[in-house]
Chains A and B, each alone.
Chain A
């Protein structure tokens, strides 16, 4: 077998040292099981080490994975519809890796007080108009505080198409939401943003040229607050696709 050892020695000359150190001779035979997730965790790691040093092996794995990625077409089955809401809900409170975007958060009660204080400062300092939809109710900062201090307060922030954020702080118990539009582009000339509460239909809440906040008296069937761009003066019903919808 001396000839074989010599032949190998010749072939390996100039090969990266890692080939000898970390990789068992037959590790490449694991490519099939690896792509099918049929290898053990130890073998997975061994092959992944091997892949680091072998570009053509990485290509092979990627190509074979393109094949296995098609297999689920054979067994497609719609999941229960409740799963969609559960996934979107969990994603909304989960930050993305390597991203600085803030997730939508559900605050524990103690944090809600801090949030309440911060938002009050925002509302007062910005001097934004607080409009109460049900005009029979007094238009006071107390209503805002009532929402922010509610035991079931929830906050959701959703990016607005074209830039900016719609933050909705709601209390189902109080049936009120504070809807805050921030960093939004100014509405094009002759147009305005119009806020709607969405339930069995769309009810106009307010119109606004750019940033602002609105205290919304929710209807029992309201499931979200949305924003559309409408002709100046607003529309009776939304006439364009929403630039944002924040679920409540």
Chain B
């Protein structure tokens, strides 16, 4: 610490002092820029990776990541840790922005090829970036879903498809897709133990 800070040439110190994402977001809400920088370091890879997966375009994904994190900075004073976790709060903003962006550019793009790959392997890019225990738990729990539940959820979340588009893709009726999304997520919730 003593020697490291100035050799970083003016970068704010990003040493980990054990602050949780919740704490960093609360401090960010008080205008603490160093905490915001550390929050960025903690969540940027997740936001960017998700945006890149949804949008399939590097420049757009960077744009969405920047938009999202600046929005996090702007709205941080309204974050209330009693109402939910910071990561939930941040990813809600991030995913909605990514999906809104992909819908707005969708008309100009043929996405059909991507529709044929609903069961892709997600491990190819994630190594060493996000907590592997979290990833392993997710992968384990995803196996407990039915194929229709898993496809519906993944196509919606990672390809940004509307549930109508999901229904066309998996060849299931709309009510079935809607309820498979909901009960699939509930099954994941129970398996992951994230209930309150």
Contacts and interface: CB of A to CB of B under 8 A. Distances in A.
A binds B: yes
Chain B interface category by residue count: 35 or more
Chain A interface category by residue count: 35 or more
Contacts of B5: 226, 238, 241-242, 245
A130 to B, nearest CB: 23
B26 interface: no
Nearest to A247: B10
A40 interface: yes
A96 B29 contact: yes
A71 B138 contact: yes
B194 A66 contact: yes
B185 A88 contact: no
Contact of A66 (B12, B78, B84, B161): B84
Interface stretch (A26-34, A134-142, A184-192, A208-216): A26-34
Contacts of B88: 62, 65-66, 69
Contacts of B11: 245
B156 A37 contact: yes
Given A65-B84, A76-B130, A77-B129, A245 B192 contact: no
B117 to A, nearest CB: 14
A59 B39 CA distance: 26
24 contacts: A33-B181, A36-B185, A68-B95, A70-B192, A71-B158, A73-B135, A75-B49, A75-B158, A76-B46, A77-B48, A78-B48, A79-B62, A79-B65, A83-B44, A91-B73, A96-B29, A96-B31, A97-B77, A159-B32, A241-B2, A241-B5, A242-B5, A245-B5, A245-B11
The 7 A-B residue pairs with the shortest CB-CB distance, nearest first, are A224-B10, A32-B181, A32-B182, A76-B129, A77-B49, A76-B130, A79-B48
Interface of B: 1-2, 5-7, 9-13, 29, 31-33, 36-37, 40-41, 44-50, 52-53, 61-62, 65-66, 69-70, 73-78, 83-85, 87-88, 90-92, 94-96, 99, 122-123, 125-126, 129-131, 134-135, 138-139, 152-153, 156-158, 160-163, 166, 175, 178-186, 188-189, 192, 194-196
Interface of A: 29-33, 35-40, 59, 62-80, 83-84, 86-88, 90-92, 94-99, 101, 158-159, 196, 198-202, 223-224, 226, 238-242, 245, 247-248
Given A63-B196, A75-B122, A84-B44, 13 more contacts: A32-B180, A62-B83, A67-B194, A69-B91, A70-B134, A72-B91, A77-B126, A78-B129, A94-B70, A98-B78, A202-B6, A241-B2, A245-B11
